[in-house]
Amino acid sequence: MGQTFAEKILSKYSGKTVVPGEIVEIKPDIAMSHDNTAAISGIFEQLGVDKLDDPDRHVIVLDHCTPPANEKFAMNHKITRNFVKKHGIKHFFDIEQGICHQVIIENGLCLPGTVMVGADSHSTTYGAFGAFGTGIGRSETAVIMATGKIWFRVPETIKIIINGEFPEGVGSKDLILKIAGEIKADGALYKAVEFAGPTIENMTISSRIVLPNMAVELGAKIGYMIPNKETLDYLDGRAQKEFEVVESDPDANFEKVLEFDISDLVPQIACPHTVDNVKPITEVEGTKIDEVFFGSCTNARLEDFEVVAAVLKGNQIHADVRMLVFPASKDIFLEAMRLGYVQTIAEAGAIIMNTGCGPCMGNHEGVPADGEVVLATNNRNYKGRLGNKESDVYLSSPLVSAHSAIKGFITDPRNN
Amino acid sequence: MLRGKIHKYDVDNIDTDRIIPARHCITVDPEKLAAHCLEDLDPEFASKVKEGEILVVGENFGCGSSRENAPIAIKGAGISAVVAKSFARIFYRNSINIGLPIFESPEAVNEIKKDDIVSLDITTGKIMIESSKKEFNSAPFPQMMQDIIAAGGMVNYLKNKHS
């Protein structure tokens, strides 16, 4: 019997043939942490170990509350910078660089066939490059600093095959919301999810990233896809070390195989207050909005800027709407500026914010008022997620967000 | 063996933002976190829980963020263990790593009623409801995880191992 990607990679890293359900202890290639490095360093210092097992294993990116909203967040940044200097951590990215997952990708640290953990739930993102990427907690990140090791339960795998071509006005965000609505927030709990099929193979890197990024919203341990040609070309000259693509065997045992045909897919909206409360846009069209949040590790890449700028060009954002724009990285911001997207978006009346997570977990930079409605391109709409439990958050694609910003209500891009 | 009165919220997908919103996570102090624990679900939660009581919840408990503050807040509120229909995976890991015992049994959650007193055996995974005398089984933890919980969390476990 062949092995799935998850079984194969955990076998390789543990040095024995493993089966689902087994507990293994392995050494990950990369362990990422962000502003929570301050808390993690505090735990590390309790462990009674002087030095990191391998400082080069750790990637630290300040992005969760940047620039700091108050003196407490500022102190976390200061503690992190001091820790980085003390332990000689070379993969450190300060607040101007961008969102952790995007920065890791741009710097050639996200590699096929590697194990990448992060003290951030959206570390499933790395599966877009064929890595075993998963979110972990703080104590275990501190333990990796001390010992290099972490335990995992070998997951069963659900394969999701996507067929068909995206209709006009529909993209990967609509697809992952559709999947979340169908299989629900615990539909892949503890499981590895493998996205496959011709549609996945033909998607751009930025569109592909959206799927594993939001695999955690299905409960998944990892979201994985075989790196396509565009991905391998992107890594050529960028990868910081050699890598080997790992794929599921043709006769691997999948717990479940699901198929979706996207030929008739319509834009999807996740309604308050769960990511799996998904409706076709036709059912919520016309819902009045107060704020558009265009940003996050899900949807704030160059291709998203291109889409949003094309819609906003020559238009004005509705007088009753504020649109906040957070590029996913400094590089994306610079490129979007060079291509004129930033100019176009700002002329339309949007507010160009700094790169970083923005209001995604409600720390600052765009917290809504009581009774307000936000249309957001991020990945979570839990009650209170953007910092106010008396507000409603709807999730959509960047395309829908741009059309809606102009009209002042949730707008179907296919009619405009 | 753990024994205590339960607080049941038969709600699915209680996310980490509802357990403890990010804006309160600037601290790791269990007492400060506990003051806001589950406040959006039940504003009186923190004040009515007594030391050693048991939290009983629905499917996919703790979904969302990787914040370890979530189980720390629950433990800080005095809760000695959580029984759920299922747990989100990072919450599951974090609970073990900070020494909060967790039990997974949809059948037990369905049977447990308001004000029940429940006994939990970490070694065997056995869940016993005193009023109805019904027993249920949560999959027992592998030895390493039992040792981590017994040590009070990952930090103490590792310190003991090295000393």
Which of B154, B146, B24 lies closest to A44, judged by CA?
A: B154
Contacts of B32 in chain A (CB under 8 A): none
Beta strand B81-84 with B54-57 is parallel
Please give the domain boundaries of chain A with CATH numbers for all domains. Answer: 5-259 (3.30.499.10), 269-415 (3.30.499.10)
Is B93 in contact with A186 (Cβ distance < 8 A)?
A: no
Beta strands in A150-290 (DSSP E): 150-153, 157-163, 192-196, 222-224, 256-261, 268-270, 278-280
| Separation CA A130–CA A281 (nearest Å) | 32
Q: Which of A46, A137, A276 sits opposite B97 (nearest CB)?
A: A137
Task: Give the domain CATH number at B56.
Answer: 3.20.19.10
Query: Please, what's the b/e burial string for A200-235 (b: 16 or more CB within 10 A of its CB; e: otherwise)?
Result: beebebbbbbbbbbbbbbbbbbbbbbbbbeebeebb
Query: What is residue B163's predicted lDDT score, i.e. its pLDDT?
Result: 66
Which of B101, B103, B102, B104 lies closest to B151, judged by CA?
A: B101
Question: Hey, what are B118's tokens?
Answer: 């429940």
Contacts of A136 in chain B (CB under 8 A): 66, 90, 93
- Closest alpha carbon within chain A to B58: A186
CA distances from A119 to A100, A238, A299 (A): 11, 24, 20
Query: What is residue B160's predicted lDDT score, i.e. its pLDDT?
Result: 86
What digits encode the pLDDT tens for the residues A207-235? 999 999 999 999 999 999 999 999 999 99
Is B12 in contact with A186 (Cβ distance < 8 A)?
A: yes
Query: What is residue A41's predicted lDDT score, i.e. its pLDDT?
Result: 98
Is B98 in contact with A143 (Cβ distance < 8 A)?
A: no
Lowest mean pLDDT among A130-139, A160-169, A371-380, B133-142: B133-142
Helix (H) or strand (E) holding B126: strand B126-129
Q: Is A221 in a helix, a strand, or coil?
A: coil
Which parts of A258-385 fold into alpha helices (H)?
Answer: 302-312, 330-338, 341-347
What digits encode the pLDDT tens for the residues A56-91? 999 999 999 999 999 999 999 999 999 999 999 999
Query: What is residue B28's predicted lDDT score, i.e. its pLDDT?
Result: 85
Contacts of A389 in chain B (CB under 8 A): 21, 40
Q: Is A401 in a helix, a strand, or coil?
A: helix
Contacts of A48 in chain B (CB under 8 A): 159, 162-163
Query: What is residue A109's predicted lDDT score, i.e. its pLDDT?
Result: 98
Mean pLDDT of successive 10-residue segments in chain B (163 residues)? 97 95 87 92 94 98 95 97 97 96 97 96 96 94 90 92 72
Question: Hey, what are A226's tokens?
Answer: 């075989």
User: For residue B95, what are the domain limits?
Assistant: 2-162
Number of domains in chain B: 1
Contacts of A356 in chain B (CB under 8 A): none
Are the beta carbons of A62 and A77 closer than 8 angstroms? yes
Are the beta carbons of A180 and A270 closer than 8 angstroms? yes
Tell me: pLDDT of A280 over 80: yes
Query: What is residue A333's predicted lDDT score, i.e. its pLDDT?
Result: 98
Inter-chain CB pairs, A–B, below 8 Å: 111
Tell me the mean pLDDT in the region A121-144: 98
CA distances from B6 to B51, B107, B132 (A): 11, 16, 14
Distance from CA of A264 to the nearest CA of B (A): 30
Q: Which of A72, A76, A363 sits opposite B22 (nearest CB)?
A: A363
| Separation CA A395–CA A378 (nearest Å) | 7
Query: What is residue B27's predicted lDDT score, i.e. its pLDDT?
Result: 85
Radius of gyration of chain A (CA): 21
Is B90 in contact with A137 (Cβ distance < 8 A)?
A: yes
Is B64 in contact with A143 (Cβ distance < 8 A)?
A: no
Which parts of A330-397 fold into alpha helices (H)?
Answer: 330-338, 341-347
Q: Give burial (CB, 10 Å; 0-12/13-18/19+) of B133.
A: exposed
What digits encode the pLDDT tens for the residues A15-62? 999 999 999 999 999 999 999 999 999 999 999 999 999 999 999 999
Work out the mean pLDDT of chain A and round it to a whole number: 97
**What ipTM is given for this predicted complex?**
0.94
Question: Hey, what are A25's tokens?
Answer: 């202890």
Contacts of B159 in chain A (CB under 8 A): 46-48
Contacts of A36 in chain B (CB under 8 A): 67
Is B66 in contact with A72 (Cβ distance < 8 A)?
A: no
- Closest alpha carbon within chain A to B63: A219
Are the beta carbons of A291 and A366 closer than 8 angstroms? yes
Is A362 in contact with B40 (Cβ distance < 8 A)?
A: no
CA distances from A238 to A234, A267, A328, B95 (A): 7, 34, 19, 38
Residue B160 burial (CB count, 10 A): 12
Q: Quick one: angle between helices B154-162 and B89-98, nearest 10? A: 50
Query: Please, what's the b/e burial string for B31-67 (b: 16 or more CB within 10 A of its CB; e: otherwise)?
Result: eebbbbbbbbeeeebbeebeeebbbbbbbbbbbbbbb
Distance from CA of A155 to the nearest CA of B (A): 11
Residue B125 burial (CB count, 10 A): 16
Distance from CA of B154 to the nearest CA of A (A): 7
Helix (H) or strand (E) holding A239: none
Q: Is A291 in a helix, a strand, or coil?
A: strand
Which of A119, A401, A82 lies closest to A270, judged by CA?
A: A401
Tell me: pLDDT of A281 over 70: yes
Bridge partner list, A293: A324, A376
| Separation CA B163–CA A245 (nearest Å) | 41
Query: What is residue B100's predicted lDDT score, i.e. its pLDDT?
Result: 96
Is B17 in contact with A380 (Cβ distance < 8 A)?
A: yes
Task: Name the DSSP class of A279.
Answer: E
Query: What is residue B104's predicted lDDT score, i.e. its pLDDT?
Result: 97
Phi and psi at A320, nearest 5°, equal -95, 5
